[in-house]
Amino acid sequence: MSSNDTFQTPLNSRYASTEMKKLWSPRTRFSTWRKLWLWLAQAEAQLGLPISEEALSQLAAHVTIQDDEFAGIAEEEKKRRHDVMAHVWGYGQVAPAAAGIIHWGATSCYVTDNGDLLLLKQGLDILLPKLATAISKLAQFADTYKALPCLGYTHAQPAQLVTVGKRACLWLQDLLKDLANLERARSDLRFRGVKGTTGTQASFLQIFGGDHDKVERLDELVTEYAGFESAYIISSQTYPRKIDLDTLNALGSFGATCERIGTDIRLLAHGKELEEPFEKDQIGSSAMAYKRNPMRSERLCSLGRYLQNEPKNANDTYRAQWFERTLDDSANRRLSIPQSYLCADACLILLNNITSGLVVYPAVIKKHIDEELPFMATENIIMACVAAGLSRQDAHEEIRVLSHEAAAVVKQQGKPNDLIERIKRTPFFDPVLPQMDQLLDPSTFIGRAPQQVEKFLRVEIAPALAKYEGQIKAETAELSV
């Protein structure tokens, strides 16, 4: 059957990167199992079990599963209804000298769970530099526009001015938290190790004739081969499913950040203050040729929304585990874990692409400021009146009356805000008219925003990115569709 006749997850066919798709591929998964069987055999041989050099050599030569092996293994699994035993059989077919010692003393979770822990770690190793890259690009944007005044919004209504760069730092602050969450999730990962069917290591204790030291050393050796610093001392048949929950929570939280940022960009695009990149031949609408829809940010919101809902699966799976284990976790985890990583990867491709080419329109931003600034400037004007010897109460009343008149013109007639012209025509304000341009300068309304941006980038962003030196990519992440 053609792939065009079979459902393909869009995460695979449209959105995720080649490296992330490869990580969660059948070849990588089952080759990882083979590595684990090889490491187990090497450690057992090192500790004195009768495993020949020929067996180890054949295992090492066939660690990567080949295309022509999959069909036979699939047929064996169909017959045995057990994926791990089918792969034990398949590995033995290409490494016959080792066929009798593959999986010696182990339970299925030796390869499935340890393998998943390896993939969880490798997946985070793919995601973290990509997130650092997005943070780096957005930090450059924030620095460029740290002093460009723009309207702030509270309750989605115009509020005191901020700057374009200061607003970007709100996004950066959330992404920095995501970076810390993913780093913590990675550092928390430990190896399940060599623990046997219920975590007691009884099978290995039997193999080594009751020698506890050798069983402990076996666990340590395989853990070292796998590249982990430590293994869980206590486990059931599986590693704690709490680990999946913690990891997917970190990914899901990042998904929420993506929707938050994407929504802000979409709203700013609605006001024509900011736009995501738009390619020369890109079509915004099939009917409305003039459209420049924020499709990247919309997709970022869409995928971010999917990602932030995946931790619910991990939560439900964790709390539904009985005693030393049940198998109702298996099918769910085969979906939720890879899809969470693929989705996070897709979000980072979008985030990198968007932050590489954000377009700012200062003239539109100034137009919006000019529409609202007269009202915001009234407090400054009142203070200037008091400094010039006028009554604060009289100044407040004059401003109140003129403000209501100007607001009526804006709301009822759709005309520009003419409050300043009204003030200039009112003799009461003659003493402060020479200061009017200064009182209306937008740069005097942004407080310490530029200095805050500089300090934030220096104190928080730079140290967080230092560990990713050499991994941050300057080029734009390309979208496949």
Alpha-carbon distances of 127 from 23, 25, 191, 275, rounded to whole Å: 12, 17, 20, 26
Q: Is 82 a catalytic residue?
A: no
- Strand segments, DSSP code E, in 335-409 are 359-360
- Catalytic, 155? Answer yes
pLDDT at 124 over 90: yes
Q: What is the pLDDT of residue 279?
A: 64
Q: Helix H segments across 155-289?
A: 164-188, 202-207, 212-225, 242-270
Pick the CATH number of 24-105+193-234 from 1.10.275.10, 3.40.50.11270, 1.20.120.1200, 1.25.40.10: 1.10.275.10
Q: Residue 332: is its pLDDT beyond 80?
A: yes
pLDDT digits (tens, 9 = 90+) for 257-308: 999 999 999 999 999 999 998 765 555 555 555 557 899 999 999 999 999 9
pLDDT average, residue stretch 220-246: 97
pLDDT for residue 153 is more than 80: yes
The pTM of the full predicted model, rounded to 2 decimals, is: 0.92
In angstroms, the Cα distances linking 154 to 139, 337, 339 are 24, 37, 36
**Predicted local confidence at residue 149, as pLDDT:** 97
The tens digit of pLDDT for each residue in 348-391 reads 999 999 999 999 999 999 999 988 888 888 888 999 999 999 99
- Give per-residue pLDDT as tens, 337-348: 999 999 999 999
Report residue 150: phi and psi, to 5°: -150, 165
E strand or H helix at 11: none
Distance between CA 424 and CA 438 in Å, rounded? Answer: 14
For residues 414-443, average pLDDT:
91
CATH code for the part of the protein at 109-146+163-191+240-357+460-466: 1.20.200.10
Mean pLDDT score of the chain, rounded to an integer? Answer: 94
| Domain 378-439 CATH assignment equals 1.10.40 | yes
From the list 249, 59, 261, the residue with the least C-alpha distance to 142 is 261
**Does the pLDDT of residue 169 top 80, yes or no?**
yes
pLDDT at 291: 55
Residue 27 reports pLDDT greater than 70: yes
**Which residue among the candidates 2, 3, 155, 286 is catalytic per the annotation?**
155
pLDDT, tens digit, for every residue of 39-92?
999 999 999 999 999 999 999 999 999 999 999 999 999 999 999 999 999 999
Instruction: Using the Cα atoms of residue 320, residue 324, residue 328 and residue 329 in order, give the sign of their dihedral.
Output: positive
Residue 3: what pLDDT?
Answer: 77
Q: What is the pLDDT of residue 481?
A: 81
Active-site residue identified among 13, 285, 391, 443: 285
Q: Domain residue spans in the chain? A: 24-105+193-234, 109-146+163-191+240-357+460-466, 378-439
Counting residues of the chain whose pLDDT is more than 70, the rounded percentage is 97
